[in-house]
C-alpha cells in the first residue's frame, strides 16, 4: 500500500510527487512510457514555469542548458510582425524529454518510487472497522488501482489517494466518470528542425483556422509546431504554413526530426475531485497551446493539489477540500482559459484585429502588459483589466 498513487510522470505528476515525498508521504508514480520520452509540445517555458520551479527549489537543476527566449514576434493574418519583449528574466525553451526526465529524477531523489505500467481502472472501498482502528488512516477509505505492467501482466496497488496526472483525455478521469470523451478541437503536427539561425525570439503566426509557431531550442534547432482545425497531411501542412506566414516560413515536413502529431486539442474534466481521486495538470483540463502556459499551470496547480491531498490524508472532509481545490484551479488555470478564448476571438474578428494591431504597433507596451500577465510575470487579472482593454481597442 502507498499513501498516494500518481498516474503520469509529466510535470503535473512529478512536481506533485516531489512535494508529497518531501513532506514525508509514501508516493508511487505509475507511468506507461519509458523515460526519456518525447511529448507533443512547443517546449516554451514561460515565466510562470520558471517561478514554479524556483518555488520547488529545482529551477537551476531542471533548466540547466535551457535556451533563453527574450521576445515574441506576433503576426496575425499576414500583418507585419510585432515584436513583444518578455519581462526580465524572460522565458526559456527546453526539450520536454530533458525537462520531464529531470523532474522525475528530482521526485525519485526526494523519495517517490516509480512503477512502469499503464493505468486500467480503479475503485474505492471503505476500510473495515478493524482496519480503521488499527490502520494508519483516520480517514476511512482506500483506492484499489489496477494497471498493466511493462510485461503485459495485470497488477494492482492500493492507495489512500489516487491522482490522475495522466494528461489530456485522462484515463483516470474518464474511467471514474469525471470526464466524458469530447468532440471538436484543433490538431497539431510538428517536430524539430535543425540547421537554423541562432535566435532568442519565438515566432508566432496566426491565420485562418490555425497558427504556426517556431520556438528556438538551441543555436541551431527550432521546435516547429502547426495547429489546424483538422489533422493535416504533409502536403497540406506545407500549404497551410505558406498561407499562415504569408510565405515567410516553410513547414519543411521532410526535414522534421522527432515528428509528432496529436488532436483533437479539446478536453476538460467535469469534476476535479471524486472523494479520494483527484485530477491535476492537463488531466484536469487542457489549455489552448497557443498561450504556451500548459507546463506553468501544471507546475503551479501541483501546490494546490499537494495541499488538497494533505487535507485528505489528515482526514479532512472531501467535499470541502474539493470545493477549495476547484476554486484554486479556476484562479490558476480557468482565468487563462478565458483569456486565451478572448485573444482567439479577437484575432479572428477582422475589425477588432485591425484596430488592436494598429494600437499595438503604435504602442507595443499594451501587448507586452498582456503578455506579462498571460506568462505569469503579473497577476492574470491585469490582462483583463478594463484600462488595458480600453487602450487596446478604443
Ligand atoms: C501542440 C501542443 C503544444 C504545446 N506547447 C506548449 C508550450 O510551448 N509550452 C507549455 O508550457 N505547454 C505547452 N503545451 C501544453 C503542455 O504540453 C501540457 O500542458 C503539459 O504537458 C501538461 O503536463 P501534464 O503532466 O499534465 O501532462 P503530460 O505532460 O501529458 O504527462 C502525462 C503523463 O501521463 C502518462 N500517462 C498517460 N496515460 C497513462 C496511463 N493510462 N497510465 C500511466 N501513465 C499514463 C503519459 O505517458 C505522460 O508521461 C502544448 C500542448 C500541445 C498539445
Tell the residue number behind the cell numbers 471514474, with chain if given. 176
Question: Is the pLDDT reported for residue 191 higher than 70?
Answer: yes
Q: Tell me how far the alpha carbon of residue 365 lies from the centroid of ligand 1, in angstroms.
A: 32
* Cβ of 107 below 6 Å from ligand 1: no
| pLDDT one-digit tens code per residue, 284-312 | 999 888 888 999 999 999 999 999 999 99
Atom of ligand 1 nearest to the CA of 281: 26
Question: Is the pLDDT reported for residue 3 higher than 90?
Answer: yes
The number of beta carbons lying within 10 Å of the beta carbon of residue 148 is 14
- The CA-based angle 351-357-362, given to 5 degrees, is 135
**Rounded Cα–Cα distance for residues 86 and 47 (Å):** 9
Tell me which CATH homologous superfamily contains domain 2-59+97-182+267-334: FAD/NAD(P)-binding domain (3.50.50.60)
* DSSP strands (E only) in 66-174: 67-69, 71-76, 82-85, 91-93, 113-125, 142-149, 154-164
Q: Tell me how far the alpha carbon of residue 168 lies from the centroid of ligand 1, in angstroms.
A: 7
Instruction: Answer for the pair 211, 251: CB distance below 8 angstroms, yes or no.
Output: no
* Cβ of 9 below 6 Å from ligand 1: yes
pTM value > 0.85: yes
* Cβ of 42 below 6 Å from ligand 1: yes
Atom of ligand 1 nearest to the CA of 49: 11
Q: Tell me how far the alpha carbon of residue 90 lies from the centroid of ligand 1, in angstroms.
A: 23
Instruction: Answer for the pair 204, 77: CB distance below 8 angstroms, yes or no.
Output: no
Q: Tell me how far the alpha carbon of residue 282 lies from the centroid of ligand 1, in angstroms.
A: 6
pLDDT at 138: 43
Which of 295, 297, 340 is the best mutation target for the ligand 1 pocket, counting ligand atoms within 8 Å of the beta carbon and taking the most?
Answer: 295
**Rounded Cα–Cα distance for residues 152 and 154 (Å):** 7
Q: Tell me how far the alpha carbon of residue 226 lies from the centroid of ligand 1, in angstroms.
A: 17
* Cβ of 164 below 6 Å from ligand 1: no
**Rounded Cα–Cα distance for residues 369 and 382 (Å):** 8
* Cβ of 262 below 6 Å from ligand 1: yes
Q: Tell me how far the alpha carbon of residue 284 lies from the centroid of ligand 1, in angstroms.
A: 11
Question: Is the pLDDT reported for residue 35 higher than 90?
Answer: yes
Segments making up each domain of the chain, as ranges: 2-59+97-182+267-334, 184-262, 338-393
| pLDDT one-digit tens code per residue, 341-383 | 888 788 778 888 888 888 888 888 888 888 888 777 888 777 7
Atom of ligand 1 nearest to the CA of 296: 11
In this structure, are strands 277-279 and 154-164 parallel, antiparallel, or unpaired? parallel
Mean of per-residue pLDDT scores for the chain: 91
pLDDT at 73: 94
Mark residue 273 as left, alpha or beta (left: phi above 0; alpha: psi -120 to 50; beta: remaining). beta
* Cβ of 31 below 6 Å from ligand 1: yes
pLDDT at 133: 54
Average pLDDT over residues 19-37: 98
Cis omega before residue 264 (within 30°)?
Answer: yes
pLDDT at 341: 81
Q: Tell me how far the alpha carbon of residue 65 lies from the centroid of ligand 1, in angstroms.
A: 21
pLDDT at 367: 82
**Rounded Cα–Cα distance for residues 166 and 279 (Å):** 9
Q: Which residues pair with 146 in a beta bridge?
A: 121, 156
pLDDT at 388: 80
Question: Is the pLDDT reported for residue 132 higher than 60?
Answer: no
- List the single range of 24-28, 77-81, 106-110, 124-128 with lowest mean pLDDT: 124-128
* Cβ of 191 below 6 Å from ligand 1: no
Q: What percent of the chain has pLDDT over 70?
A: 97
Select the highest-mean-pLDDT range: 38-42, 99-103, 366-370: 99-103
**Rounded Cα–Cα distance for residues 72 and 70 (Å):** 7
Tell the residue number behind the cell numbers 476500510, with chain if given. 127
DSSP state string for 270-316: S-SEETTEEE-GGGTBPPPGGG--HHHHHHHHHHHHHHHHHHHHTT-
In this structure, are strands 273-274 and 187-193 parallel, antiparallel, or unpaired? unpaired
pLDDT at 377: 80
* Cβ of 298 below 6 Å from ligand 1: yes
* Cβ of 295 below 6 Å from ligand 1: yes
| pLDDT one-digit tens code per residue, 204-233 | 999 887 899 999 999 999 999 999 999 988
Instruction: Answer for the pair 58, 108: CB distance below 8 angstroms, yes or no.
Output: no
3-state secondary structure of 152: coil
pLDDT at 129: 54
Reported as a pLDDT band with limits 50, 70 and 90, residue 334 is confident
Atom of ligand 1 nearest to the CA of 215: 8
Select the highest-mean-pLDDT range: 119-128, 268-277, 374-383: 268-277
Average pLDDT over residues 71-85: 90
* Cβ of 193 below 6 Å from ligand 1: no
pLDDT at 379: 80
CATH 3.30.70 fits 184-262, yes or no: yes
Closest Cα to atom 8 of ligand 1: 42
What is the H or E stretch that residue 258 is in?
A: strand 257-262
Question: Is the pLDDT reported for residue 139 higher than 70?
Answer: no
Reported as a pLDDT band with limits 50, 70 and 90, residue 100 is very high
| pLDDT one-digit tens code per residue, 143-184 | 999 999 999 999 999 999 999 999 999 999 999 999 987 778
Grid cell locating 333: 488555470
Amino acid at each position: 500500500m502507498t499513501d498516494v498513487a500518481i498516474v503520469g510522470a509529466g510535470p503535473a505528476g512529478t512536481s506533485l510527487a516531489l512535494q508529497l515525498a518531501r513532506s514525508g508521504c509514501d508516493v508511487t508514480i505509475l507511468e506507461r512510457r519509458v523515460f526519456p520520452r518525447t511529448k507533443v509540445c512547443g517546449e516554451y517555458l514561460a515565466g510562470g514555469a520558471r517561478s514554479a520551479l524556483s518555488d520547488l527549489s529545482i529551477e537551476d537543476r531542471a533548466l540547466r542548458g535551457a535556451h533563453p527566449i527574450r521576445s515574441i514576434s506576433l503576426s496575425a493574418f499576414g500583418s507585419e510582425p510585432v515584436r513583444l519583449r518578455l519581462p526580465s528574466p524572460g522565458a526559456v525553451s527546453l526539450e520536454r524529454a530533458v525537462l520531464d526526465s529531470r523532474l522525475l529524477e528530482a521526485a525519485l531523489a526526494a523519495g517517490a518510487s516509480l512503477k512502469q505500467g499503464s493505468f486500467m481502472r480503479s475503485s474505492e472501498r471503505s476500510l473495515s472497522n478493524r482496519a480503521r482502528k488499527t490502520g494508519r488512516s483516520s480517514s476511512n477509505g482506500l483506492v484499489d488501482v489496477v494497471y498493466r505492467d511493462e510485461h503485459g501482466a495485470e497488477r494492482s496497488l492500493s492507495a489512500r489517494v489516487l491522482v490522475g496526472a495522466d494528461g489530456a483525455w485522462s484515463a483516470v478521469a474518464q474511467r471514474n466518470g469525471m470526464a466524458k470523451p469530447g468532440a471538436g478541437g484543433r490538431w497539431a503536427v510538428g517536430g524539430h528542425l535543425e540547421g537554423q539561425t541562432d535566435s532568442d525570439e519565438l515566432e508566432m503566426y496566426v491565420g485562418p483556422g490555425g497558427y504556426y509557431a517556431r520556438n528556438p531550442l538551441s543555436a541551431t534547432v527550432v521546435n516547429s509546431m502547426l495547429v489546424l482545425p483538422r489533422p493535416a497531411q504533409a502536403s497540406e501542412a506545407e500549404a497551410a504554413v505558406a498561407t499562415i506566414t504569408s510565405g515567410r516560413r516553410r513547414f519543411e515536413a521532410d526535414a522534421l526530426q522527432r515528428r509528432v502529431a496529436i488532436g483533437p486539442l479539446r478536453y476538460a474534466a467535469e469534476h476535479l475531485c471524486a472523494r479520494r481521486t483527484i485530477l491535476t495538470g492537463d488531466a484536469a483540463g487542457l489549455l489552448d497551446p497557443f498561450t504556451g502556459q500548459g507546463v506553468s499551470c501544471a507546475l503551479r496547480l501541483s501546490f494546490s493539489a499537494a495541499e488538497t491531498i494533505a487535507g485528505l490524508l489528515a482526514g479532512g472532509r472531501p467535499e470541502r477540500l474539493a470545493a477549495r481545490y476547484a476554486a484554486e484551479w479556476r484562479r490558476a488555470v480557468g482565468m487563462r482559459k478565458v483569456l486565451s478564448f478572448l485573444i482567439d476571438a479577437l484575432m479572428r474578428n477582422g475589425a477588432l484585429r485591425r484596430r488592436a494591431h494598429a494600437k499595438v504597433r503604435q504602442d507595443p507596451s499594451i501587448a507586452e502588459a498582456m503578455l506579462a500577465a498571460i506568462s505569469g510575470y503579473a497577476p492574470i487579472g491585469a490582462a483583463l483589466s478594463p484600462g488595458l482593454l480600453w487602450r487596446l481597442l478604443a
